[in-house]
């Protein structure tokens, strides 16, 4: 048996804990969240501490860490103020614009202008969607949990409307080769899909 390296998160530095988490939970999907504030200024930012929560009703979650000064990020402020946000699926053609949308821009500037991405209106929420993304979820804030001693905000949203570009659909499924999704690895590294593997359950029934 290998001699595993062992780490106690209570005795190592925060940076090392981050490296263990983000190097082990891979590849992560990216919750690319678009919001608008009460003045109508749009906002767009990626969050890879992101996942699907449940199906009925459909919910997703994003962990939106506080800024180093303890303040809340714009995405969370906007989602809390309006009760709404959109999730946009990140695909390979959009990956550089997604990274650029994480840059801090001056207060009042929109990441849409800086990245050249196109905000389009939603059906049920005030938050815009990213036209260049093939899938959008319109979400209403279900709740914001504050976790642990540092009260890390976990934003949970209920999906109230789905938009899917028909180009990525085939036979009622979202076809991965057509979607071309992007994964977040650790550091500044990202992954494309690679080889797709297939193995069915014993009963052979589609899910």
Cβ proximity to ligand FMN: between 66 and 178 the closer is 66
Under a CB-based contact definition with an 8 Å cutoff, are residues 124 and 160 in contact?
Answer: yes
Whole-number minimum distance, CB 115 to ligand FMN, in Å? 12
Rg (CA), the chain: 18
Whole-number minimum distance, CB 137 to ligand FMN, in Å? 17
Under a CB-based contact definition with an 8 Å cutoff, are residues 164 and 174 in contact?
Answer: yes
Whole-number minimum distance, CB 154 to ligand FMN, in Å? 10
Cβ proximity to ligand FMN: between 59 and 64 the closer is 64
- Cα distances (angstroms) measured from residue 78 to each of 86, 126, 206: 11, 11, 39
Please calculate the CA angle 167-168-172 and round it to the nearest 5 degrees: 105
Under a CB-based contact definition with an 8 Å cutoff, are residues 140 and 158 in contact?
Answer: yes
- How many residues line the site for ligand FMN (CB under 6 A)? 17
Cβ proximity to ligand FMN: between 15 and 202 the closer is 15
Residue 26 is a binding residue for ligand FMN (CB under 6 A): no
Site for ligand FMN in 132-191 (CB under 6 A): 184
Q: Which two tokens stand for residue 130?
A: 């990213």
Site for ligand FMN in 33-92 (CB under 6 A): 43, 45-49, 63-65, 73-75
Whole-number minimum distance, CB 153 to ligand FMN, in Å? 9
Whole-number minimum distance, CB 113 to ligand FMN, in Å? 13
Residue-wise over 152-186: b if at least 16 C-beta within 10 A, else e? ebebbbbbbeebebeebeeeeeeeeeebbbbbbeb
Cβ proximity to ligand FMN: between 102 and 123 the closer is 102
Reduced to 3 DSSP states, what percent helix, strand and coil does the chain have, rounded to the nearest 5?
Answer: 20, 35, 45
Cβ proximity to ligand FMN: between 16 and 198 the closer is 16
User: Of 122, 126, 150, whose CA–CA distance to 136 is shortest?
Assistant: 122
Whole-number minimum distance, CB 100 to ligand FMN, in Å? 9
* Residues binding ligand FMN (CB under 6 A): 30, 43, 45-49, 63-65, 73-75, 99, 102, 104, 184
């Amino acid at each position: 048996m290998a001699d595993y390296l062992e780490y106690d998160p209570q005795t190592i530095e925060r940076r090392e804990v981050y490296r263990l988490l983000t190097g082990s939970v891979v590849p992560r999907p990216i919750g690319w969240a678009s919001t608008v504030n009460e003045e109508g200024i749009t906002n767009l930012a990626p969050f890879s501490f992101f996942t699907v929560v449940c199906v009925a009703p459909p919910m997703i979650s994003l962990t939106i860490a506080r800024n180093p000064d303890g303040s809340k990020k714009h995405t969370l402020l906007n989602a809390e103020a309006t009760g709404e946000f959109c999730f946009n699926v990140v695909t390979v053609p959009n990956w550089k614009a997604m990274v650029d949308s994480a840059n801090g821009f001056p207060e009042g500037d929109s990441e849409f202008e800086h990245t050249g991405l196109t905000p389009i209106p939603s059906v049920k929420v005030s938050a815009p969607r990213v036209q260049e993304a093939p899938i959008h979820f319109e979400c209403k804030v279900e709740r914001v949990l504050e976790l642990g001693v540092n009260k890390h905000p976990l934003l949970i949203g209920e999906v109230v409307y789905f938009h899917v570009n028909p180009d990525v659909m085939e036979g009622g499924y979202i076809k991965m080769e057509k979607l071309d999704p992007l994964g977040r690895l650790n550091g500044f590294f990202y992954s494309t899909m690679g080889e797709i593997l297939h193995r069915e359950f014993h009963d052979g029934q589609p899910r």
